[in-house]
Structure 1
Amino acid sequence: MIRLILYLVGVGLLATGLAWLADRPGQMLLTWQGYEIETTVFRAVVIFAILIGIAVFLWSLLRQLWNSPAAVGRMVNRRRQERGLEALSSGMIAIGAGDRSQAMRHAIQARKALPNEPLTHLLRAQAAQLSGDRTTARRIFEAMLGSKETEQLGLRGLFLEAEREGEHEAARQFADRALRLNPQLGWPIDALFELQCRASDWTGALDTLAAGKRNGHFERTIADRRRAVILTAQAQALEDTNADKALTLTMEAHNLAPDLVEAAAIAGRVFSSKGQTGKVARVIEQTWRRAPHPDLAIAYAYARSGDSPKDRLDRVKNLARTTPHSVEAPIAVAHAAIEAHDWTEARKALAPLVESRLSQRVCTLMARIEGEQFGNAGRVREWLARAANAPRDPAWTADGVVADRWAAISPVTGTLDAFQWKVPVEQKGTQDEELALAKFEELMALGDGSTEKVIEAKPLGNDDVPQTVEVRTVPASEEAPKPKPAAPTAAPATTAAQRTSGNGAQPHPYVPSRAPDDPGVEDEEPAPKTAKAAKASA
């Protein structure tokens, strides 16, 4: 629009000038070399303008002829660049489609047309990877390191190649170099952090996490959670050797992630060993409300050393009241009640679960109650049979692996914070089933008849002397030893079995109703356990 306006303005000015000259006639006389040229001013001006136009045209033509070789070269380069860009585009499409032959063909064309283009190097490397030529791909990526423009691309390619080959140390070095080259890159942060976690290099992982958070690669909530998990992993390794350092680490982790069970459990055990019962209660209660777990219940029960089982039961009942709708609350109460031999309270706690939320843990607890309270082998076997078919309980699970204890990384992939407290996926023949069967076998001893207590009566040959009864444990496969015959000069004493039956039959082994491995009623004040020992026994 502006150009049209300028054109019209120019035409108007030219017409105005010509009209002005036409209105003012005059004569011009030119004498040169004996020639005289006489014309009007208007005609002279028009002739002069035509001569100027011819001169400009001739100059443009000569300049084009002079610059024609360069123009031809530019045209050739432009056409080659167009072919190269077309080859790059087609090659990338072929790689995305997985067409190896087309990818190699377009990579060769792109190399001929655009040999110095970074995308050409990338296309050649990816075509070599698609063809399975790892050596060529690595050589191309290494060549990229010589240019600042392609150095980051080369490091990325070399890192991926090292990961595919399982060369974790080389991959770590490439990621570290890329991070130093450009801290704003996201992939070196993620890769370096993952490799450090997989190698349990917690100090390096914390530094990388801080760098990623500083450069905006991690959100604050994600960074805090990951830091809490790493600190808990460090505390887990130091709990038995440096309790004070472990406590410092777990408290920082607890403040960052109050729902992290392992951090609260470790802090509770350390506080309990120091006699700081109030701090144990505060830490455990905060985490229990967010994530109820058996480890928290055990640490809470043994918060104060020297308490009787009854005191521990009362403490666990107070904790369970804070989460009345969680299945872990009644199970924790039942555990504490069984230790206190309060069978009524244990049955009361498990009654709602038996009716509506039966699980393997509930069945095994009921088997313990039947075995320890009554020594009823039949009821023990019945509950264990129900446990075999009952729904599974939550467990620490990561990538299909079930573990007895929380860990910071997955044993399969090395992913941080992979373990979750949830019901494992049902799989036949897995390791977690073997662990469950092992626990069932331990409880089967409550109803197993492989050993029996045999009461053996020995006559002393004197009716006036009180009878003595010897009790010993023998295998059931062995026959009970026969009573020794009485001395010939003394009348046989009346045994306990004979007095019961009222006849003179030989004494026979008596099998009590109590289960063979039942410890019986413990002392009212048993020796105090530590929270860690109670967790191991559970």
Structure 2
Amino acid sequence: MIRILCFFFVVLLLGAGFAWLADRPGDLVITFAGMQYKVTLMVAASAVVAIVAAVMLTWWIIKSLVASPYALRRHFRARKRDRGYQSLSTGLIAAGAGDGQTARRMIGQAQKLLNVDQEPLIKLLDAQAAMLEGRAEDARAKFEAMLDDPETKLLGLRGLYLEAQRLGARDASRHYAEEAALLAPNVEWASSAALGQKTTHGDWDGALLLLEKQKATKQIDKEKAKRERAALLTAKAMETFDADPMSAKTIAVEANKLAPDLVPAAIIAAKALFQQGDLRKGSKILEYTWKKQPHPEVAETYVHARIGDSAIDRLKRARHLAAMYPHHPESSLAIAHAALAAGELKEAREAAEAVLRTAPRESAYLLLADIEEAQTGDQGRVRQWLSRAVKAPRDPAWTADGYVSDRWAPASPVTGRLNAFEWKVPVEQLGPVIDYRGDFDEALATEPVRSAPPREDLKPLIPAKSVTAETLSKVRLDKEDILDAEVLQLEPRAKASNQAGPKSAQSDGNERIASVLPPFQEQKVDSKQKDEDLAFPVPDDPGVRPEDEAERSGKKFRLF
């Protein structure tokens, strides 16, 4: 567009100049070789313009003739290069789609049309095609050859790192990631992988230094960098706590300042302060964390802050901590544990039962079993609480990428991701199962139930998301409905005796399901027949209720 405007501007100037000469007539006299030539100004100007145009045209023709061989070579070379890049592009697309045959064919075409030494993408495509064809050794050799070229070194390190990850060679992958991080600190995969590897191997100083480089290159934001630094400092403090308490205290307090809601940082900081005799500051740190997120390890550390405290003093501290976040399950559990240790069994039972009303969990039932054994010594009731604990929802645990651990760790052992552990309930089965047998126990109505081991000869039991005593009492179940669902009704417990009566369809159903579900009533079975019928050993009898409770219970079914 600019060239067109310039052309029109030149034409306009020439036209204006000739018009100006036409309005001002005159003659031009030239004397040459004794001869005098006289022409008008218009003719002279036209002659000058024609001579200039002829010279320019002649120069262009001569220049084109001289440069024509080079222009032809350049044209064919550009055409060949375009065809080569088209083949290379098609090959990369085929490799990404998993078409190894097409990728290999495009490599041959690209190598003929392009210079392999000057085009590193051919090397990459060749290595990817080798991986698609299952030639892992050739692929690794090609990636290693890329390390000799500074332009493709990072690409080769990336390929070798992924191949080492695929084979499970952690030491080799760590080596390649660290080398790539030194070569290009701003590359996110290299620095993250190297950081995870250093964290896994306990190189806290190296991990902190690498984290500072990531922060300097703005690979991560400031808030994330602060939290990850707090996790690394917490792990370092936990490792050095026994050997160097003073150094661990400084590191842990810094970690707690960076992330006050990080539970492990608060715990290790409080422990270090308690060891140095600073009870007030350590308790303040734990109280702040408890208000943000009640955690059993926080309660344990807070209650046992002073070594010489009696059980009653620890119970008082547990009550004080629970008052900061009342009606939370962890608050009730903290009181229950401290009360059991102090011999206040009534208070311990009330606190544990409060957990069952709000958030039933395995630890609450186990605690009630301990309380029952200490208070009454009734082994039947103890076994009953233990059987309920087996079916109760799991307690929260430290979870990262599907991995469940009893202790916190700074990085995920699966992916190496830093600060990946979360305090939550591990994932279990998709839905609970209702199993009807014996009397209905109202205390179990709100508990999610785990499914029994699968049997090929039985249909699945009735699934349900939530069942309560009220909704179950509205459901009318007869023998035909139960038999259709393969959930067989067991005969209710009788007060008189357990004598065997005439065989019925219901008793046949009881014998069928006895091979899968543990019985809640005594059955006289021959030992030889028992070994043949039972698919797997039956667990211990979880116990029965006292006779007075069995008489008061008029319900027929029991949620198991």
Q: TM-score, normalised by structure 2?
A: 0.68
Query: Equivalents in 1 of 2:28, 2:253: separation in Å?
Result: 108
- The aligned amino acid for 1:84 is G
Residue pair 1:198, 1:415 contacting (<8 A) in 2 also: no
Query: Equivalents in 2 of 1:74, 1:328: separation in Å?
Result: 79
Residue pair 2:193, 2:416 contacting (<8 A) in 1 also: no
Query: Equivalents in 1 of 2:253, 2:44: separation in Å?
Result: 102
Residue pair 1:84, 1:114 contacting (<8 A) in 2 also: yes
Query: Equivalents in 2 of 1:273, 1:46: separation in Å?
Result: 107
Q: Percent identity?
A: 42
Query: Equivalents in 2 of 1:48, 1:278: separation in Å?
Result: 103
Q: CA deviation at 1:410?
A: 3.2
- Structure with higher Rg: it is 1
Out of 6, 9, 19, the residue aligned to residue 6 of structure 1 is: 9
Equivalent position of 1:65 in the other structure: 65
- The aligned amino acid for 2:226 is D
Residue pair 1:272, 1:305 contacting (<8 A) in 2 also: no
Equivalent position of 1:519 in the other structure: none
Residue pair 1:145, 1:152 contacting (<8 A) in 2 also: yes
Out of 279, 282, 286, the residue aligned to residue 281 of structure 2 is: 279
Query: Equivalents in 1 of 2:385, 2:393: separation in Å?
Result: 13
1:64-463 alignment runs, 5 A limit: 64-115=64-115, 116-426=118-428
SS of the residue corresponding to residue 421 of structure 1 reads strand
Q: CA deviation at 1:68?
A: 0.9
Q: CA deviation at 1:290?
A: 1.8
Structure 2: gaps (5+ residues) = 431-560
Residue pair 2:198, 2:207 contacting (<8 A) in 1 also: yes
Point out the more displaced range, 264-273 or 307-316: 264-273
- The aligned amino acid for 1:341 is G
SS of the residue corresponding to residue 402 of structure 1 reads strand
Q: CA deviation at 1:113?
A: 2.5
Post-superposition CA distance 1:420-468 (Å, at most 9, x none): 221112269xxxxxxxxxxxxxxxxxxxxxxxxxxxxxxxxxxxxxxxx
Residue pair 2:85, 2:110 contacting (<8 A) in 1 also: yes
Post-superposition CA distance 1:170-212 (Å, at most 9, x none): 4334333333333333332112112212222222111111221
Q: CA deviation at 1:273?
A: 3.8
1:473-492 alignment runs, 5 A limit: none
Q: 1:50 to 1:422 in 2, by over 3 A?
A: closer
Q: CA RMSD in A?
A: 2.9
Query: Equivalents in 2 of 1:359, 1:189: separation in Å?
Result: 41
Q: CA deviation at 1:372?
A: 0.4
Q: CA deviation at 1:12?
A: 1.1
Aligned length: 424
- Stretches of 4+ aligned residues off by more than 6 angstroms: 26-32, 36-39
Query: Equivalents in 1 of 2:335, 2:201: separation in Å?
Result: 40
Query: Equivalents in 2 of 1:298, 1:51: separation in Å?
Result: 104
SS of the residue corresponding to residue 324 of structure 1 reads coil
Q: 1:161 to 1:300 in 2, by over 3 A?
A: same
Q: CA deviation at 1:7?
A: 3.5
Query: Equivalents in 1 of 2:46, 2:226: separation in Å?
Result: 86
Equivalent position of 2:444 in the other structure: none
Post-superposition CA distance 1:134-166 (Å, at most 9, x none): 344444444444444333333333333343344
Q: 1:323 to 1:109 in 2, by over 3 A?
A: same
Query: Equivalents in 2 of 1:46, 1:416: separation in Å?
Result: 83
Query: Equivalents in 2 of 1:215, 1:38: separation in Å?
Result: 80
- The aligned amino acid for 1:66 is V
Query: Equivalents in 1 of 2:95, 2:144: separation in Å?
Result: 21
SS of the residue corresponding to residue 204 of structure 1 reads helix
- The aligned amino acid for 2:427 is V
Query: Equivalents in 2 of 1:297, 1:360: separation in Å?
Result: 18
- The aligned amino acid for 2:79 is R
Equivalent position of 1:24 in the other structure: 26
Residue pair 1:197, 1:415 contacting (<8 A) in 2 also: no
SS of the residue corresponding to residue 217 of structure 1 reads coil
